[in-house]
Amino acid sequence: MIIDLPIHILIALAFIGWFSGLMGAILLVHHRVLIGDVLSHSVLAGSAFVFLIFMDASFPMLIAGAFASTILSAILIEFIRTNTPLKDDVILGIVLAFMFALGISFLAVAQRIPDVDKAILNTLLLGEVSAILPNEVPYMVIASVIGSLFIWGFYRGWFFTGFDSVFGYTQHLPVGIIRKILLIITASGILLTAYISGVVLAVGLLIAPALIGRYFSTRLHTTLLIAGFSGSALAVLGGFISASIEGLSTGPLIVFSAGLIGLLTIMFSPHYGIILHKLRYQIFKWTRGMENILRAGYKLLEQKGNMSYAFTIEELKQTCDDPPPSWTLLLKVLEWKGFVQKKGTRWTFTSAGLEKARHLTRLHRLLELYLSEIVKIAPERVHSYAESLEHIITPEVEKRLYELLRDKQYDPHKKPVPWNGSG
């Protein structure tokens, strides 16, 4: 399949995508992504207004008009914020609705004017990268580079505006000015984003790369880098997809692919991903189940007074206080791991299994001792606490427990602590 995407469009997408990612990441760490949405919805009003006045739909004119209206929106937001007790969601909602309604009205009027080329106005709504002309690309590249330099240049500043502004104020850093610069960067940068993804969906191209950056890193500069690169990649990807399917606007495709990848990030990222988090929980549940089986087996053998006794699942069930999610499956896993052996309907411990079971029992009983003797919890209650703690003890804590309780022979329920092989 040959995809017809001219090189100048590719360049524009890569640069604007990069810049949008950076911008989105900075807005995200300031919890102000929605301001990007409001400003992008304001683009239409300015562009259409300029067209109505000058009857000129050339790129510089539209950009100038758009910039005027994003700046107006920014000023409006700040004005309402400082002069009323209204909360951000209300302010942003009002300004967005007002400016977008204004833009749509101007657009409707513009449609009725005959004999002037105004196709570009329509493409602003949903974005159409094929409308980008080669002579516009240098402006876009330069604007993206300047915008990115501003974002990197104020790297330290974002810590004082985003993380701890009070500290910044007390040390006479220009916190207020840096905040205004963020607004100006957004107001001008969003024009570029809106130009490729459309004014309605521009926020998608800010938020998706920013999420990827945020989810895959713990520091600001890596967040910015990842967001920038993913913005670039997502914009180019969307461009390719739209070029390969006839009659589809670019904007929705760029934002759709960005959104999809953003959602996948939320699901699968290593630190905060939902899926991995759930997976880790399941793994823990199963490990815990296996440990409980081993300990129940050990207790059973102790009762029988015979460490090579062959037990049935029924006998195990009666000994275990904290039943695992599945008996047969987990016993199979334990067999596969070489801890137990199946003989007909009965099971025995291998020597590795017995050692593991003894270790777990030792840990459990030492924890009971610790809880009753040092934390002074009543002996009848320590069992259930030890039951949950024994699965999450680290080797370091375990070592401390051994040192602390090394001369204890019996747990609070008078059961022997299996210190060594004799059990």
Partner 1 sequence: MNTVIKVSNLTAGYDTGPVIWGVSFEIPEGVVAGIVGPNGAGKSTLLKVMVGMLKPHSGTVLFWNKQYDEVYKRIAYVPQKEEVDWTFPATVYDVVMMGRWVHRRLWGRITKTDRELVKQALETVEMWDYRHRQISRLSGGQQQRVFFARALAQDPDLFLLDEPFAGVDMKTEEKLLELLKNQASQGKTVVVVHHNLFTASEHFQWLVLLNMHVVSAGPPDSVLTPENIERAYGGHLPVLARLSQRLSSLKEKPTR
Q: How far is the CB of 31 from partner 1 (least distance, A)?
A: 8
Nearer to partner 1 (CB atom), residue 22 or residue 296: 22
* Shortest distance (Å) from residue 214 CB to partner 1: 6
Give least dist CB 208 to partner 1, A. Answer: 17
The contact pattern for partner 1, residues 121-160, with x = CB under 8 A and - = no contact, is --------------------------------xx-xx-xx
How many CB atoms are closer than 10 A to CB 167? 12
- Closest C-alpha to 285, from 319, 313, 322, 320: 322
DSSP characters over 4-48: ---HHHHHHHHHHHHHHHHHHHHHHHTT-HHHHHHHHHHHHHHHH
**Which amino acid is residue 47, in one-letter code?**
S
Our finding on whether 219 is near partner 1 (CB under 8 A) is: yes
375 binds partner 1 (CB under 8 A): no
Interatomic CA distance for residues 358 and 397, integer angstroms: 18
371 lies in the binding site for partner 1 (CB under 8 A): no
Q: Does 220 bind partner 1 (CB under 8 A)?
A: yes
Question: For partner 1, which is the closer residue by CB, 29 or 57?
Answer: 29
343 is an interface residue for partner 1 by CB under 8 A? no
Distance CA 410, CA 417 (A): 5
Specify whether the CB–CB gap between 289 and 325 falls below 8 A: yes
Least distance to partner 1, CB of residue 159, Å: 6
d(CA 418, CA 423): 5
The residue count for binding partner 1 (CB under 8 A) is 25
Q: Residue 173, interface with partner 1 (CB under 8 A)?
A: yes
Residues sharing a CB contact under 8 Å with residue 268, sequence separation 6 or more, in sequence order: 275, 276
* Residue 64 found at the interface with partner 1 (CB under 8 A): no
Q: Does 420 bind partner 1 (CB under 8 A)?
A: no
Residue type, 352: A
Q: Is 83 in the site for partner 1 (CB under 8 A)?
A: no
Which of 11, 184 has the CB closer to partner 1? Answer: 184
Which listed range, 7-15, 68-76, 218-226, 324-332, lies at the site for partner 1 (CB under 8 A)? 218-226
Per CB under 8 A, the list member of 169, 268, 281, 410 interacting with partner 1 is 169
User: Would you tell me the crossing angle of helices 250-268 and 202-215 to the nearest 10 degrees?
Assistant: 20
The reply on whether position 38 binds partner 1 by CB under 8 A is: no
Closest by CA position to 260, among listed 303, 207, 307, 296: 207
Least distance CB 21 / partner 1 (angstroms)? 14
Q: How far is the CB of 151 from partner 1 (least distance, A)?
A: 13
- Residue 377: strand, helix, or coil: coil
| Backbone φ, ψ for residue 342 (5° rounding) | -95, 135
Instruction: Rule CB under 8 A: choose which of 79, 163, 284, 402 binds partner 1.
Output: 163
Residue 394 lies near partner 1 (rule: CB under 8 A): no
Q: Across the strands, what pairs with 381?
A: none
Residues 6+ apart with CB under 8 A from 340: 297, 331, 334, 347, 348, 349, 350, 353
Q: How far is the CB of 170 from partner 1 (least distance, A)?
A: 4
Q: For binding to partner 1 (CB under 8 A), which residues are involved?
A: 29, 31, 153-154, 156-157, 159-160, 162-164, 166-167, 169-173, 214, 217-220, 222-223
